[in-house]
Structure 1
Amino acid sequence: MVGASTAFVALAALFWGLSGGIGGILMADGWDAFVVSFYRGTIGLLCVLVWLMLRPHGNGLANRRLWFWSVIAGVGVAGNFSFYFLSIAHGSVAVAATLMYCAPVFVYLVSFALKLERPTPLKWAAIAVVMLGIMLLTQIYDVGANGVTAMGVGAGLLAGLSYAIFIFGFKYAAAHGSPQAILSIAFAILATILIWPSDADQTVLVLSTPDWPLFAVLGVLGAGLSFVLYIVGLEHTAPAVASIVAMVEPVTATLFGVVVLSENLVGPQILGMGLIVVTVTALSVYTNSGRPPSG
């Protein structure tokens, strides 16, 4: 069962990595980043509603605190999806995915500020290495180089920050109800938020476009099935192992960008990406080692 659970986590990370590439293809065809994000979340909502109907017991939907923290999680996932695709639209899949992978660093910084986590020299050193990696990856010392733009970098970092907000919201909501109930509320909030900035004409046009299958795959793999697999997988996977397996996401997104979308990465960017992925993974393993599974 443990092996299968780890495979579920790996599949979820793989699907998240592929979702960045699929979103990149759709936006290259002229689709608005908010429209892509809206349909990713809305189709994901339909998937988790099915999960909720199949497992309705102990959902906690009568609990006000569940709703409060689930709404926070919804704001976070709405920001994560939209900023991620904006970063891809103004940069590349590889850079956007790696910047979003920095989310644990934002979790630490917020935890330090709220005094939920005790800062240590090792944690500050890891954060400093990640910052160095971001500088190399984004070539921030030469904005505009190799297709990297200020908008792409800023949106990528905001995607990571938004994901950190989702993590906090989901964590505190989990004490009051089931994951499927939390995700149902969160994705409903996402759809409510993202319908406003989405291009109205494109939002309707999606329903009859030949690109509809790509939208469907993006929603099922990138928001519905992936979240279900990840949460079920965590029930029997140690957080430290899950942190390592999660490396599949940025690696998959990067390979998709390079192989399918013909994106290019220069030497310093590859070095920066390596520093970020290895350091964030090591930091997550160090923090979670010895702790029980979070499921």
Structure 2
Amino acid sequence: MNKTKGLTFAVLAAFIYGFTPILGKLSYLEGSNFMSLTFYRNFLSIPLLYAALKHKNIPAGCSRDELKKLAALGAMGSTLTALTLYASYNYISVGMSTTLHYIYPVLVAVSCIVIFKEKVSREKIAALVFSTLGVMMFFEGSFSIMGIVLALISGVVYAAHILFIDKSGLKHMYPFKITFYAAIFSSVYLFIFGMLSKSIVFEMTFEGWLYTFLVAFFVSFLANTFIPIGVMHVGPTVTSIVGMFEPITSIVLGVWFLGEPLTARNVLACVLILAGVLIVTVTKDNKPA
């Protein structure tokens, strides 16, 4: 296990997750919608992931047991998490949705302690507290029970996604292979759901397809592959804590590209999150949890 490598890929994944919503919003202006973006970001990444496997001479075949696990994984992170989180935006603010979604690092840590009887160091607990307080400072907007429930479900499912990679043994599989099959299964699930709900669009402007492809490349090809690498090297708890770097990226890029205001509250929130990430970065721990 390589802690530096694990932290690096976890931070990169969080950074990508943080800036790609901007590309997603741009694609909406060009004829797309959240269902289409979620479907295409998985579907368009499949050839890229297959090419990565061929380049590394990694066999694409899987056992029946592995396929079952990958089918379950595809239903979680790239399908249910995205659908419930995006759907919550229709009822509550993005800030509140993001805050509630970030219950997942707490759920991961608690699950490791209570269910899997793992020891989580005091440093990681402190990092979790700092980062969670930071994310909670983004809490804002009007209340809606449906929106709150959907956002919470997205956090619960993503926590299960992170833990499943670690506890199912999939973390030992080649990362691009995990993402390849997860993208295939997610594409199938989303296509069926999208066709039944008549929410997948097949016509967009050139710019819309370009933004969609960029989201597919950065999220489904890169970030979704970086997460298993992080779990492999630093464990699910640290990967989840470092994932809180995502809202910082969104805040900074929102100020930079969209001219959004930067408040003292947001600055303090970013400082708290960075403090948590810094703690897990400098803490010496040979056994990830």
1:16 lines up with 2:14 in the alignment:
no
Of residues 189, 211, 216 in structure 1, which corresponds to 2:213?
A: 216
| Backbone CA RMSD of aligned residues | 4.3
Amino acid at match of 2:254: G
Q: Paired residue for 1:254, among 233, 237, 251?
A: 251
In structure 2, give the amino acid aligned to 1:226: A
Structure 2 CA distance, aligned partners of 1:124 and 1:254?
Answer: 25
Query: Which residue of 162, 179, 182 corresponds with 2:178?
Result: 182
Amino acid at match of 1:70: L
The structure-2 alpha-carbon separation of the partners of 1:52 and 1:136, relative to structure 1 and needing over 3 Å to count, comes to same
Amino acid at match of 1:205: E
Q: Which residue is equivalent to 1:200?
A: 198
Shift in Å, 1:68: 2.7
1:32 shift after superposition:
2.5
What is the distance in 2 between the residues matched to 1:283 and 1:102?
19
Q: Which runs of 5+ in 2 are unaligned?
A: none
The answer to whether the aligner puts 1:44 opposite 2:39 as a matched pair is no
Give the conservation status (yes or no) of the 8 Å contact 2:105–2:241: no
Amino acid at match of 1:160: G
Quick check: 1:23–1:85 contact (8 Å CA) kept in 2? no
Secondary structure, in 3 states, of the residue corresponding to 1:25? helix
Aligned length, in residue pairs: 283
Match of 1:189, SS state, is: helix
Match of 1:160 in 2: 155
Query: Cα distance, 1:20 vs. partner?
Result: 1.9
Question: Structure 1: any 5+ residue segments left out of the alignment?
Answer: none
User: Alpha carbons of 1:173 and 1:44: their partners in 2 closer, same or farther (altered >3 Å)?
Assistant: farther
CA distance in 1, matches of 2:69, 2:243: 24
Per-residue deviation at 1:273? Answer: 5.2
Change (3 A) 1:79 1:263: farther
TM-superposed CA distance for 1:246, in Å, is: 5.2
The aligned counterpart of 2:69 is 69
- Post-superposition CA distance 1:42-85 (Å, at most 9, x none): 22333222222333546661251x22322222122112333343
Give the Cα separation in 2 of the matches to 1:105 and 1:271.
20
Task: Pick closer, same or farther for the CA change 1:279–1:192 going to 2, 3 Å.
Answer: farther
How many angstroms does 1:128 deviate by?
6.0
Deviation at 1:192, TM superposition (A): 1.8
Q: Which amino acid aligns with 2:108?
A: V
Task: State whether residues 111 and 117 of structure 1, in contact with CA within 8 Å, keep that contact through their aligned partners in structure 2.
Answer: yes
Give the structure-1-normalised TM-score. 0.71
2: CA distance between counterparts of 1:259 and 1:39? 27
Check 1:75–1:175 CA distance in 2 against 1; reply closer, same or farther (3 A cut): same
Query: Which whole-Å CA distance do the structure 2 matches of 1:241 and 1:124 have between them?
Result: 10
CA contact (8 A) 2:27 2:209 kept: no
Give the direction of change, closer, same or farther, for the CA distance of 1:156–1:3 in structure 2 (3 Å limit): same
Report the alpha carbon displacement of residue 244 of structure 1 after superposing the two structures with TM: 8.2
Letter in 2 for 1:222: V
Amino acid at match of 1:204: F
Moved more, 111-120 or 177-186: 111-120
TM-score (norm 2): 0.73
* Preserved contact between residue 6 and residue 242 of structure 1 (Cα < 8 Å): yes
Question: 1:154, CA displacement in angstroms?
Answer: 4.7
